[in-house]
Amino acid sequence: MTIYGVGILAACFIIGQLTGELLGRLLNINANVGGVGFAMLALIISGEWLKKKKLLSAPSLEGIQFWNAMYIPIIVAMSSIQNVRAAFSTGYVAILAGIIPTVAVVFLVPYISRLSKKQ
Amino acid sequence: MEFFSTFFIKNGLIVAFVTVAAMIAIAYGLSKIFFKNKIPGNAIAIIFGLVLAYIGGEVAGGKNGIADVAVFSGFSLMGGGMLRDFAVVATALGASFDEIKKTGLVGILSLFLGVLLSFTIGAVIAALLGYHDAVSITTIGAGACTFIVGPITGAAIGASSDVIAISIASGVIKSVLVTIGTPLIAKHIGLNNPQSAMVFGGLIGTTSGVAAGLGATDPKLVPYGAMTATFYTGLGCLLCPSIFYYLMQFFYQN
């Protein structure tokens, strides 16, 4: 059933976010620390386990895939509620922070790839 | 008139769904007709979103972009933290531990190196351009990773909305740049086999940009690059608001 997939996703979300909140308290940072990352790990691990045990039926999977597919639309909506006017008044930070690190990192690709061929 | 605005406000989330659907449809149309899919529809749609947010800021004068315009208030639910994080977690389903094991340590190395370098250079740029608080510098550094890592980091450590907007904007610029630039530079960086595609995805990270850029280069490379890239956002979301933010606090006050 589709709701099973949504339920698995929601359970991983809650486990991850709770871990992030608790880690934040432990580290004395008043913030959620990597909750989304932990939730993703939980989904990868539980997803693989469920697939191996054949407990994840196609309709269940759809419940997760729907939200996977909604991520770009949600990111579009998220972009629409940001304080863009204020961001642009701060100037070219966004442009430079978008271009310079990317260009720098791209040039590493051949060197790192060569490492993997030596293995 | 009041009848319509009351109706739209009452059904805010659904209004947001139909508006975003229209924005994405137009974006994909523009991408196909004017840019021959070289600029991905997703990137154009996100730019539409940022433009809409700018217009909302001009019209309503608030901090929440288009959501401050009453009839579009549903955007704050659709684009808010809860659904955003939920959808991002769902993307992890495409990633697999066994697959990344096949690239071995080099894949993992490229992931860590990619997040670390993008963050560091982004943070240095933020510091050079006049940001002197750990929260803003961390958020902009995270934005140099991807347009998801930026806002999630910013939200987690309490960055202001304008800094979050910068982090999204730089992530979007990165995505557009990777999409357009990948086919142009592929030959020069040896991007013609699964291994280098995985390293590329790990180093660059922006899933939409990597998927679109590799698609324009050689569609066979897409799953390899996209797979490591899928881990990038998770790793960024794990490292930026935790260790990186923690380290930044040694250099800058809040």
Lowest average pLDDT, out of A54-58, A61-65, B70-74, B138-142, goes to A54-58
CA A7 to the chain's CA centroid:
18
Contact: B235, A37; criterion CB under 8 Å:
yes
Q: Give contacts of B23 with chain A, Cβ < 8 Å.
A: 76
Contact: B143, A112; criterion CB under 8 Å:
no
ipTM of the complex: 0.85
In the prediction, which pLDDT does B150 show? 92
Highest mean pLDDT among A46-60, A78-92, B9-23, B229-243: B9-23
Exposure on the CB side of residue B167, measured as CA atoms within 13 A: 32
The mean pLDDT of A21-35, rounded to a whole number, is 73
A76 touches chain B (CB under 8 A): yes
The mean pLDDT of A48-54, rounded to a whole number, is 87
Residue keyed to tokens 């739209």:
B8
In the prediction, which pLDDT does A31 show? 62
Q: Of the candidates B67, B148, B195, which has its C-beta nearest A81's C-beta?
A: B67
- Using CA atoms of B1, B2, B5, B9 in order, give the dihedral in degrees to the nearest 10: -170
In the prediction, which pLDDT does B8 show? 92
In the prediction, which pLDDT does A91 show? 65
> Which residue stretches of chain B have pLDDT < 70?
94-104, 223, 254
pTM: 0.74
CA–CA dist A35, B26 (Å, integer):
34
In the prediction, which pLDDT does B178 show? 87
Closest CA to B52 of B17, B14, B19, B85: B19
| Residues with Cβ within 8 Å of residue A44, at least 6 apart in sequence | B92, B93, B95, B96, B97
In the prediction, which pLDDT does A29 show? 58
